[in-house]
Structure 1
Amino acid sequence: MRSVYILLALILCLSLTACGESAGNVGSPDTNVSGSAPSEVNQQQETLNPEYAATEEPVEETQPQDESPANKEVGLLYYESDEIIDKFFTDYNDVAELSIPANEIEAGNMGTKANVYIDDLSLEITNAGDYLAISMGCATENETTKLYVVYRDVILAMKSDVPVEEIQRSWNEIHESGYLVEDYDFEGISITYVPARELSTGTTSLRIDLEIPLNE
């Protein structure tokens, strides 16, 4: 009988030991009730609960650069079809007493020719390749005022190192005889002066022609 009690006691001890080990496994930090690993549980929580989701920084959109004329340096283009003529007008207006607005410049009968008409003043500018041909005219009563100013400033635009006194001297010399003057040389510029003339058919036009070398 005593041996039966001892056997029962051993069975009870073994049972208690087994239950203790099972309880230890249930409380292990490596697993949860569902048997899923902690990382899997966290992922599920992040999906179900927005508070666990990673916060993404908003992507700043790059705004297109403003291409308005106010943000760009835009040079004034006087004559689009010929760079030489365009440069002439730019240089002329830089020094001119009587400037020529861009809207007063008209295209000639070819791309290398431009015309200007301002009141009684007329200008014809032609890029002849080796030289710039400029023909100017106005009413006779404005010859010594308006036409001289344009004559002087055209030469200054093309030859900025020429003194104004020398330009005045050339003007006086081509007018000295009062008659037609052809191929007058001034600082390499060929000048032709055609004075106005009273004829039976009317008055001829006053004109001064300049041929200014471009390759000097």
Structure 2
Amino acid sequence: MKRKTSSPQRTILIERGTALFHAQGYTATGVREVATAAGLPQGSFTNHFRSKEDFGSEVLAHYVLQLEAIMERTLQDKTRNPFDRIVTYVDEIEQLVRTPDWKVGCLIPDMASEVSAHSEVLRRRLAEIMTRHTAYYAEALGEAFEKETAEDLAGGILAAWHGTLLRMKVERSGEPIARFRRFISRVWPVAGKNLCTK
């Protein structure tokens, strides 16, 4: 049976699934639980998704669409220099993850730490996302560095940022984000001697 590409039921399943993945992780979230959270019978889930892996991929796509809108607004803001673009991006994400217990991080490193060894489908999907997100940073940094240097720095910064968000959840504190800002500001004068200053 051909699946519908879009419907209110499908949308609410993805939205509730995103919230559950944030709250308790991919592995701990069951198909029945997603359907219940959406107020739908379990059969609705199987009408729209072939498997939990398929659903996980769709949740990632939904989440990444929102995340990349922020990246485009900040990391591609050519009115700012590359350093300010990165800091502005961090500022926007901090507002999204700022909760009383700091338990809601980023689905990309969260799912990567859970599924990479168990799901080749999701591992490949996450690798594609990380490659694309590295390119956002590299494009911004390309205004200050040679292409190869910009790409290396972009990969390192993204890895450090993902680690920051994981540590935030472990420490139940926003201090890791503050440390990330200090890290960026301290290494930039050394690495960014040719920084554009628009």
Tell whether the structures are fold-level matches, with TM greater than 0.5.
no
Normalised TM-score (structure 2): 0.23
Give the helix-richer structure, 1 or 2: 2
Normalised TM-score (structure 1): 0.22
Give the strand-richer structure, 1 or 2: 1
Which structure exhibits the higher relative contact order, with contacts defined as CA atoms closer than 8 Å and separated by 6 or more residues? 2
Q: Could you say which structure has the larger radius of gyration?
A: 1
